Amino acid sequence: MNVEEFFELSAGKWFSHRTSHHLAFKQSEDGKSDIVIDMLTVDHPEVIKLCEQYSILPDAASCGARVTWKGTMEWDQECDSLWVNIGN
């Protein structure tokens, strides 16, 4: 399996639930995340823009993926986005 196949098989909506145990503090905390992985074509404007931003020829890209997530911990909230541009 190559990276492209990995992202293609991972595309979709995912849910993550985790519990962290802090033995020294005798505490635990829960965290939850909603994760979305979207595959983008190499001619997608956002893939082209990202290639140009990093001085990569858009023709060198073999695919693109957008990974977004909204996560919450008992003590914090976060919402992040990660772009992945995969070259040949």
Annotated domain spans of the chain: 3-87
User: Of 68, 46, 66, 67, which is closest to residue 58 (Cα–Cα)?
Assistant: 46
Q: Hey, which CATH number is domain 3-87, 3.30.300.130, 2.40.128.20, 2.60.40.10, 2.60.120.10?
A: 2.40.128.20
The pLDDT assigned to 86 comes to: 53
- 57: tokens are 């020829």
Print pLDDT tens along the chain (88 aa): 988 899 899 999 999 988 887 788 788 888 889 999 999 999 999 999 999 999 999 888 888 999 998 888 766 655 555 555 555 4
The pLDDT assigned to 23 comes to: 81
The pLDDT assigned to 22 comes to: 77
Judged by DSSP in three states, 27 sits in strand
- Full-model pTM: 0.69
